[in-house]
Structure 1
Amino acid sequence: MVYTIVVHLYAKEDTESIDKLKAKLVEASEVYSKDHETLSWFVMQDVGDKRKFCIVERYLHESSQKYHLENPYWKTFDPYVIPLLDQPMDLRRLNELE
């Protein structure tokens, strides 16, 4: 089994918020992709609506996300990202069959 988290984010309408969110998500992907037992940490931006972003986090096990949450970068993520959003993050957890 692979444990997957899918997060949808919707930025505020202004270009500055969109650009800041995009940069933070790219940075976060570089940091989190190196976490122990993280298989992948992808970030995508909708081609039709630049305000829409999606994160797909894939971990070896459900328990693997503890390494993600223990990463010191995690404490900087939400305080920076949440003010840039027009809506709360939509987070879904899944177990994939491999």
Structure 2
Amino acid sequence: MIASASGLRALHCTGKVAPLDGAEAAALLALLDGWQLDGARIVRSFGFSNYYETMAFVNALAYIAHAEDHHPELVIGYKTCEVRYDTHSVKGLSLNDFICAAKIDALPRP
């Protein structure tokens, strides 16, 4: 099992994934900063000083999502961005969700 957020960041998403059970998801969630379990997905809200910073974050996040071919649901406000990850093909959480969340956590923020 993966032991750190940096361990998650070193991985890449794959097309064939299995659903995580509750214990696996809880162990991976504990490695992340500020993410919460919301039903069958993980969610984190990010706050910013202005719209420009919010959109810069969204663009950096979009780069990660494209590179990993794993895309979150986003709710974007003037000074906020809520990121929601789940894996539709498994109807719940997969390792891919946690890989992307860890990479997003590593983005620089003002």
TM-score w.r.t. the length of structure 1 is: 0.48
Q: Larger strand proportion, structure 1 or 2?
A: 1
TM-score w.r.t. the length of structure 2 is: 0.45
Higher relative contact order (CA 8 A, sep 6+): 1
